[in-house]
Each structure stands twice: as structure tokens, then as C-alpha cells.
Amino acid sequence: MADDTEFIAAKNASEDGEFVRDATYINDRVVADLPAGSDPVGDKVGEMRWPVEAGRYRLMAARACPWASRSIIVRRLMGLEDAISMGLAGPTHDVNSWVFDLDPDGRDPVTGIYRLQEAYFNRIPDYPRGITVPALVDLPTTSVVTNAYQKLNFDLLSEWSAFHRDGAPDLYPEEHRDEIDELDSWIYPTVNNGVYRSGFAAEQGAYEEAYDELWASLDRLEERLTTRRYLAGDTITVADIRLFTTLVRFDAVYHGHFKANRNKITEMPALWGYLRDLFQTPGFGDTCDFPQIKEHYYNVHRDVNPTGIVPKGPDLSGLLTPHHREELGGRPFGDGTAPGPIENPSERVPEGHGAG
């Protein structure tokens, strides 16, 4: 599954104890070639096309989840806040659903729902799979349009271009698409999902295989980022967003909680500098809520952490120290510009929840 409902996904294991992620999604798309206000085209869930329309959809996310954090970052970098509103679920939940317990009365203020599960059931009664974030919800029907996070993010980059802010960067440049796709072909299974394969392995052999693949890839990334500022080209791309959401959680969660403990990212000079560089870039660190991240993993995953005790450490203030990565060249947003301050108070990370 594509969210952090891993205590459900952890039950999905192969015979040799390897964690297997459920990758079945509602694959509907929101596209620009349908008139705004029209009904979706198609009659089969997962293959329907919905029109791009400002104000019609709400991005349901959770700061705790790395997959949802990708969409939060993309939405902010592209300046889609006015076109697509955002609801934020709390970091803890039960086996049934993410819940909006951060909001007054425990309900999302726009849709009025308490559990994200309600929007899934509005689309598919008795929806049988995990209730995942991110999910794009159609406001007129309060039903999920898609939870296919990768396609959702690409649509935010391409199909929603009419609503991008002035200066929105090109996060998937044509000249680097093959390189970005090649990077994802090994970073996703061994790093993004690799930490979960390590943490949720049910057998020693499966754990050690995932652990070894994870560190082989992190060593490969350390070498790559020693001489280049970003993963592909000289600007930030979707490849960097994908890696960032894993790296920023690594020392706080994955190193101990998921037993990925050969090194901390702070002990790997290139990756540590790269992480600080991105964290200090508008749109990245200002979307991270570390108390929520830690509370989710350590409190929800009782199979891994039976007591639910959330550690006080580590000290994350080093994320704000100078990184000197600009000496490698490159321009974070290329010909574009950085996003401005977060205007909506409800979307700002609470004071004291960042790295400072």
C-alpha cells in the first residue's frame, strides 16, 4: 500500500518473510482535456478521467506519511494551494482509517468527514483495501477520485499547468526524464520501500537481504552526490522529492525503529549535506512535522514497538546548519523561483515541530 498504514501492510508477507507492499490503487486521473464542470468520463473505477477544475478537489494527506509528503511538496512548489485545498489527517489511527483528529470536533472542516474511510466508501462501498494517503477527493460527492500517488503527482505537474504559480519549476524536465525514471527503478524498491522491507521483515533472512540492498543503494547515492548537487541535472526534480521524504525520516525513525542501523545520515557527508540543502529549500523543510512523524511510526506500529513509547531524540537542529552544497553549482529551481511563505495558517507546521 502507498501510505503509512504499514501495520496492515506488514501482514502482506511472502513465504520467506519478506514484506510485500500492496500496490493496488484507484487509478482514475484528473486531466486538462475535459471541460471544467463536466462529469467524469468512463464507467470503470480506476480508468475514469475527471476534469481539472479549481476548487473541485481536496488533497487528503498526512504529514507523517512519506508518500503523502511527496504530494504536499509538489502542490506547494507548483503553487496549487488556491486550486486544490488540503486536508491533513493526524499522525495516529487505528486499523480502519486515517482520521482528522487535528481539526475541531475531529472532522475535516471542508468535507465534514471524521475518517478518510468515509470518502473511500462513498466511491466504493465496503472498499476492501487499505485507506491510504494521499487521496484526492471530489468535493461535490465527497468521494475518492484517486489514491495512486505517483500518477497524482505527475498530474499535478502536467495536467494542472493552467493553475501553476508564476515561476513554478520544471520538476520533470524532458532532457532528464530517462535518468529520473532509471533512478526511481532502484531507489524506490531498495531505499523508499527498502526501509519498510527492513522494518517489517518477518524472517531474519528477509531482513538481512533488505538491509544489505538498502545500504548498497545509500552508498551508491553517497558516491553520486559527492560530486553533484542534485540527483538528475543541476536543478531539483521529482527524483529529489522522492528521496528527500525518506532521508528526512531516516535518523528519527528508520535507523532505530526499522533496524536500518549501519549508519545515520549525519554520518554520511554527501547525503547529510544534500539533506540539509533540500531541507533548507522552501517547500521541503517547511512541510515537515517531526513530532507527528515520530508519533505515527512509534505509536501506530505496535508490532514493531509494542509499548508505543515515542523517543525524545534525536536532536534534529543540525538540519539547519550550513551545508555548502552551493559550491557544487546548480540552481534549485532552474529558471523558476522559490515558492513564497505559506499563506494558510492551517497549513503551517506548528512552532517547535520543525528542526529548530
Per-domain residue ranges of the chain: 6-163, 174-338
CA dist., res. 63 & res. 296, Å (int):
10
Task: Please state the pTM of the whole predicted model.
Answer: 0.95
**pLDDT of 14:** 59
pLDDT of 67 > 90? The answer is yes
Each residue of 188-224: pLDDT tens digit? 999 999 999 999 999 999 999 999 999 999 999 999 9
Same fold, 6-163 and 174-338: no
Q: Is 50 one of the annotated binding-site residues?
A: no
- CATH topology for 174-338 is Glutathione S-transferase Yfyf (Class Pi); Chain A, domain 2 (1.20.1050)
Cell of 141: 460527492
Res 17: pLDDT: 87
Pairwise CA distance, residues 168 & 133, whole Å: 24
Task: Return the closest-CA partner of residue 253 out of 209, 309, 300, 311.
Answer: 311
Neighbouring residues of 166: CB distance < 8 A, sequence distance ≥ 6 = 79, 337
Which residue in 350, 227, 219 sits closest to 293, CA to CA? 350
Known catalytic residue at 288: no
Q: Looking at the domain 6-163, which fold is it?
A: Glutaredoxin (3.40.30)
- Condensed to tens digits (0 to 9), the pLDDT of residues 71-102 reads 999 999 999 999 999 999 999 988 889 999 99
Q: Which residues contact 220 (CB under 8 A, 6 or more apart)?
A: none
From 25, 57, 65, 149, active-site residue: 65
Active site includes 149? no
Q: What is the DSSP secondary-structure string of 108-169?
A: -TTT--SBTHHHHHHHSTT--S---SSEEEETTTTEEEE--HHHHHHHHHHTTGGGPPTT--
Contact criterion met (CB below 8 Å) for 153 and 129: no
Q: What is the mean pLDDT of residues 112-141?
A: 96
In degrees to the nearest 10, what's the CA dihedral of 218, 222, 224, 227? 170
- List CB contacts of 119: < 8 A, sequence separation 6 or more: 60, 111, 113, 135, 137, 142, 143, 144
Q: What percent of the chain has pLDDT over 90?
A: 91
How many Cβ atoms from other residues are within 10 Å of residue 99's Cβ?
22
Q: If DSSP codes are grouped into helix, strand and coil, which group holds residue 276?
A: helix
Q: Are 60 and 137 in contact (CB under 8 A)?
A: yes
- Of 25, 57, 149, 196, catalytic: 196
Compute the chain's Rg from CA coordinates. Answer: 19
3-state helix vs strand vs coil in the chain, percent to 5: 40, 10, 50
For the stretch 6-34, pLDDT in tens is 333 334 555 678 898 888 899 999 999 99
